[in-house]
Each structure stands twice: as structure tokens, then as C-alpha cells.
């Protein structure tokens, strides 16, 4: 398990754009499970949508990407992991994105990502997001780890 303090040591993101709360399972080089507790206190709900809060799909995809970033960094060798403060993960593409059900305040959004391909600094991941075991979104993500 990786808690929020450890996530912040890995990712450069901070509130209000740090979109994972905890990693519950990780198999280095293979897969990760992480979650975000979606609350009415999220700033995004001020405008999306007043009186009918829906967590934006773009935020779900970004949360998937952040979980994928943790997986990529934790899958690097020990020396490279020590240099994570000098690295950042860039999106290269988002493909096959589908949104199947709305996510609302009170939901626990669980991200499950699997490595489809990994070569050098390039990672291709299949990401799926669930609420109460119901698939709410999915996408294929391609990212690259680069120097800042």
C-alpha cells in the first residue's frame, strides 16, 4: 500500500490537482490499483454542474494517468527511483476513452491499470475506473517519462 504522503514523494501534483488518495495494490511493471474519494468539497463541482454535481471525465482520465505515473516510477530500478524529483510523466495519447456512468460526490473511484507495452521511457497502459465494482470509464493511455 502507498499512502498519500508517499504518493506526493513520487508525483509532482498537488491539491487541487492530485487526483489519487491511495494505492492499494501494485505489481511493478504489470499493474496498479488506486483510488480517489470523490467529495462535494471538490472545487470542480462549483461549475460542473451547480445543483447536479458530476465528476468530469477529464478528471477521471487524469486520475488514471496519475496512477499510471506511480506505477511507472515504482517500476524503475532503485537508482532511477531516487531521481524521480527530476522526472515527470507526459501524456502522449489517450485512445479508446469511454465513459459509461456518471461519478458523483460520495463515490469511491477505483483505478485499475495494466501495462500493455513498456519500452524504455514509453508506457502504454489500459486504464479502467470503477465505482462499487461497476465500470464507469476506460481508456488506453500512452505516456513518457522525461527529465524536467
CATH of the domain at 127: 3.10.129.10
The pLDDT of residue 22: 98
Q: For the chain, how many structural domains are there in total?
A: 1
Catalytic annotation present for 13 = no
The label of the residue with cell 476506460 reads 138
Q: Label residue 81 by pLDDT band (50, 70, 90).
A: low
Rounded Cα–Cα distance for residues 56 and 58 (Å): 5
| 114 has a pLDDT exceeding 90 | yes
Q: Which domain holds residue 74?
A: 4-147
Q: What is the pLDDT of residues 25-76, one digit of tens each?
A: 999 999 999 999 999 999 999 999 999 999 999 999 999 999 999 999 999 8
- Which of 43, 48, 52, 118 is catalytic? The answer is 48
Determine contact, residues 82/3, Cβ cutoff 8 Å: no
The closest of 19, 16, 28 to 7, measured between CA atoms, is 19
| pLDDT average, residue stretch 96-123 | 97
Amino acid at each position: 500500500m502507498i499512502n498519500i504522503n508517499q504518493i506526493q514523494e513520487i508525483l509532482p501534483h498537488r491539491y487541487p490537482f492530485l487526483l489519487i488518495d491511495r494505492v492499494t495494490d501494485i505489481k511493478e511493471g504489470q499493474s496498479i490499483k488506486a483510488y480517489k474519494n470523490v467529495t462535494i468539497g471538490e472545487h470542480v463541482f462549483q461549475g460542473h454542474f451547480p445543483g447536479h454535481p458530476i465528476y468530469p471525465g477529464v478528471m477521471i482520465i487524469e486520475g488514471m494517468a496519475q496512477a499510471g505515473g506511480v506505477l511507472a516510477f515504482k517500476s524503475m530500478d532503485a537508482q532511477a527511483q531516487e531521481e524521480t524529483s527530476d522526472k515527470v510523466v507526459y501524456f502522449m495519447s489517450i485512445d479508446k476513452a469511454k465513459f459509461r456512468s456518471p461519478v458523483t460526490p460520495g463515490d469511491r473511484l477505483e483505478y485499475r491499470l495494466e501495462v500493455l507495452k513498456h519500452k524504455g521511457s514509453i508506457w502504454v497502459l489500459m486504464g479502467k475506473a470503477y465505482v462499487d465494482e461497476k465500470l464507469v470509464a476506460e481508456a488506453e493511455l500512452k505516456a513518457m517519462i522525461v527529465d524536467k
